[in-house]
Amino acid sequence: MTTRTRNNTTAALAIGLAAVFGLLTALIVFDFGPLYDLDHSVARWAYDADQDNPTAVRSLKLVAIVFAPLKLWLVLGAIAVVLAVRGGRRTVAWIVVTIAVSWCVSQNVANATRPHFVRSARPTTSVAPATKRRLI
């Protein structure tokens, strides 16, 4: 595979991913009903599947903690520092730009979509899953 072919493939993948995420964001912003129905059914299924499985709940919490954006940005920042010491200027610049862009995008998407997620229906229960006590 030549460098030009590799660059074209990378560009096509980046454009494709941007289109997919752009479409999803537009569907959320414009209150696309079937997407909310899917969200509700998946949330209900996940709740039903995990309510009596504390191991699965702990595992999912661990995944959420490990892959939190702040921790990922800190790891990428540490890699950028190590590469800067070794003299990898292009890679360091790419990492710093990636962190900055991802932070800006995550803030803007979160601010734009938060009202829509707050309004979306979520499963409710009168019994707390882990404790089996009645909720107030």
Residue 19 domain flag:
no
**Do the domain assignments include residue 25?**
no
Domain count, the chain: 1
Query: Taking Cα atoms as reference points, which of 128, 74, 7, 97 lies closest to residue 82?
Result: 74
Asked if the structure places residue 36 within a domain, the reply is yes
In a domain, 15, yes or no: no
Instruction: Pull the structure tokens for residue 81.
Output: 């520092």
For residues 23 and 131, which has the higher predicted lDDT (pLDDT)?
Answer: 23
pLDDT tens-digit map of 58-115: 888 888 887 777 777 888 888 888 888 988 888 888 888 888 887 777 766 666 655 5
> If you ran DSSP here, which 8-state letter would residue 50 be given?
H
User: Is the residue at 63 inside a domain?
Assistant: yes
Give a yes or no: residue 135 inside a domain.
no
Q: Which structural domain range is residue 62 located in?
A: 31-119
pLDDT digits (tens, 9 = 90+) for 18-59: 999 999 888 888 888 888 888 888 888 888 887 788 888 888
- pLDDT exceeds 60 at position 14: yes
